[in-house]
Amino acid sequence: MRQVDYDDVASAYDQRYDRNRYSEVRETLLRFVGEARDVVEIGCGTGHWLAELEGQSRDVVGVDPSQRMLEIAARAAPMARLVRSRAESLPLATASRDRIFCVNAMHHFLDKIAFVAEARRVIRKGGEILIVGLDPHAGIDQWWVYDYFPSALSDDLARYSSGAAIRGMLEAVGFTAVSTSVAQHLPAAIPFDKALERGYLDRRSTSQLLVISDEEFEAGMRRITAERPLVCADLRVYATVGRLI
């Protein structure tokens, strides 16, 4: 599995939000944040989700290890305080935040258990955590990426934790009332030419295509270009929430 340098792909990263508006994920996030005073996004990337919180909270912080991502986030979410750091070692005071969330980011963290332990340290009593992402372990999703680039699925099974595993991690460090639900269903069937035009096949716009080898990417591109299929997906994005009492 290749390592991804997110400084290199930052400029194309937000193409995903042109293709999918993630409106239900947005609603899930806004409900989660509610009237919370202090909110932190871990793995904030280019600041897309931080920008959704403008006016929602007193103090919003975004954390990400990529300097280039944070430079883009500074323009997208000027109201947020941005910190360059890894999820496993947060430069935030103990019991100082009401809400911590990460959207489509936990699979990038090198030590997921260290991340949830850090989140538990930083969240004050009565606070909550929200983790949003895919769950390829559920075995019910279909995706053209997995069809034409098979290693992407095996890599995702290694990178992503199942909903049950995430709940187990949260409970192990002291979160309660932990639950997982579908935040958004993302079906799609797009003609090949439209998919190509809209950047679906741009390698930089999804980590699934970045982590596979160059050889597999090139072979998959030759195959999909020759077949010119409907570019189909039937994906679910899950939200796991836990509370600290």
In this prediction, residue 72 carries a pLDDT of 95
Q: Please, which pLDDT band fits residue 56 given cuts at 50, 70 and 90?
A: confident
Q: Please, which pLDDT band fits residue 93 given cuts at 50, 70 and 90?
A: very high
Burial group, residue 237, by CB count within 10 angstroms (0-12, 13-18, 19+): buried
Domains assigned to the chain: 6-243 (3.40.50.150)
CA neighbor of 207 nearest in space, from 12, 74, 31, 70: 12
In this prediction, residue 14 carries a pLDDT of 79
- Per-residue pLDDT, averaged over 54-61, amounts to 85
In this prediction, residue 6 carries a pLDDT of 76
Q: Are 12 and 202 in contact (CB under 8 A)?
A: yes
Prediction pTM value: 0.95
For the chain, give the percent of residues with pLDDT over 70.
Answer: 100
Does pLDDT of 44 surpass 80?
A: yes
**If you search the block for the tokens 């716009």, which residue do you land on?**
205
Question: Can you tell me the distance from the alpha carbon of 78 to that of 51, in angstroms, rounded to the nearest whole number?
Answer: 8
Least confident of 6-10, 166-170, 179-183: 6-10
**If you search the block for the tokens 């992402």, which residue do you land on?**
133
For the chain, give the percent of residues with pLDDT over 90.
Answer: 86
User: pLDDT digit string (tens) for 109-132?
Assistant: 999 999 999 999 999 999 999 999
Q: Please, which pLDDT band fits residue 18 given cuts at 50, 70 and 90?
A: confident
Amino acid at 40: V
Question: Can you tell me the distance from the alpha carbon of 77 to that of 62, in angstroms, rounded to the nearest whole number?
Answer: 9
Q: Write b or e for each residue in 141-159: b if 16 or more Cβ atoms lie within 10 A of its Cβ, otherwise e.
A: bebbbbbbbebbbebbeeb
Question: Can you tell me the distance from the alpha carbon of 31 to that of 205, in angstroms, rounded to the nearest whole number?
Answer: 28
Question: Can you tell me the distance from the alpha carbon of 202 to that of 218, in angstroms, rounded to the nearest whole number?
Answer: 12
Q: Please, which pLDDT band fits residue 10 given cuts at 50, 70 and 90?
A: confident
Q: Are 86 and 110 in contact (CB under 8 A)?
A: yes
Does pLDDT of 7 surpass 90?
A: no
Q: Please, which pLDDT band fits residue 100 given cuts at 50, 70 and 90?
A: very high
Question: Can you tell me the distance from the alpha carbon of 30 to that of 102, in angstroms, rounded to the nearest whole number?
Answer: 13
